[in-house]
Structure 1
Amino acid sequence: MHWYVDVLKKYAVFTGRARRQEYWMFFLVNLIIAIVLSIIGRAIGTMVISWLYSLALFLPGLGVAVRRLHDTGRSGWFVLIGLIPFIGWIILIVFLAQEGRPEPNEHGPNPKYAPAV
């Protein structure tokens, strides 16, 4: 759960690097919460709760994706590849699932080996 909260603390931070574990754990917890809210919304007859949650988590999700791309040595603008139908999402998932660069890059030191702050 701390991976989810850590991403929320960096609400709109698009600089630095994010480990694979940070990104995918945030994605998993976010997906579970979204599914639960969707079920609750259908039960009460309105999807407003789910929409508000999705809107509130848009910037943190985008920020962690950009930081994840930075960890692989790519520009954050590569997140726009996801706008290409079907093939763009596949390419983006491959980029997000790749191991980060072990050496420091222009976006900072490797978060896997960086001391906890």
Structure 2
Amino acid sequence: MPANQMRWLFFGFSGRISRAAYFLAGLLMMIVVVFITYRLMLAEEAGTSGAAWEVALSAVLIASLWAQAALGAKRIHDLGKSGVFAALLFIPALNFIAFVALCLMPGEPGPNQYGQVTNAPA
């Protein structure tokens, strides 16, 4: 996948994405966060400075918040709704339910007001 396509997938808000792309991108973000958290815990257990891992974790968490909003907005666009509903992904009691729902609900077939096809910028 070209770099500009990856940048659009994780950081762009235009267009639509499929259920599979949404799930896999969310899974990748989770794996990266868990890996860096794991490395930070290993550094702390070893008694070494985990400052670099703390900085990396902070940067990844900020980037993942943005990416989660972008992925959610594009997935909601695929359902034909406004991306504003992606805010539900940031409500602690609803975020898991919203994530699962977005992974299961089929998008609108054919073009809609947010794009001609899924998995491509509008």
Matches of residues 1-117 of structure 1 in structure 2 within 5 Å?
2=1, 8-10=6-8, 11-45=10-44, 46=50, 47-87=54-94, 89-91=96-98, 93-111=100-118
TM-score, L = length of structure 2: 0.73
Unaligned 5+ runs, structure 2: 45-49
Identical residues among aligned pairs (%): 23
TM-score by length of 1: 0.76
Range with bigger deviation, 79-88 or 34-43: 79-88
What is the alpha-carbon root mean square deviation over aligned residues?
Answer: 2.6
Between the two structures, name the one with larger relative contact order (CA 8 Å, sep ≥ 6). 2
Choose 1 or 2 for highest CA Rg: 2
Count residues in correspondence.
111
For residue 12 of structure 1, report the CA deviation from its aligned partner. 3.1
Structure 1 portions without partners, runs of 5+: none
| Greater Cα shift, 7-16 or 27-36 | 7-16
Whole-Å separation in 2 of the counterparts to 1:6 and 1:61: 18
The Cα of 1:96 is off from its aligned counterpart by: 4.4
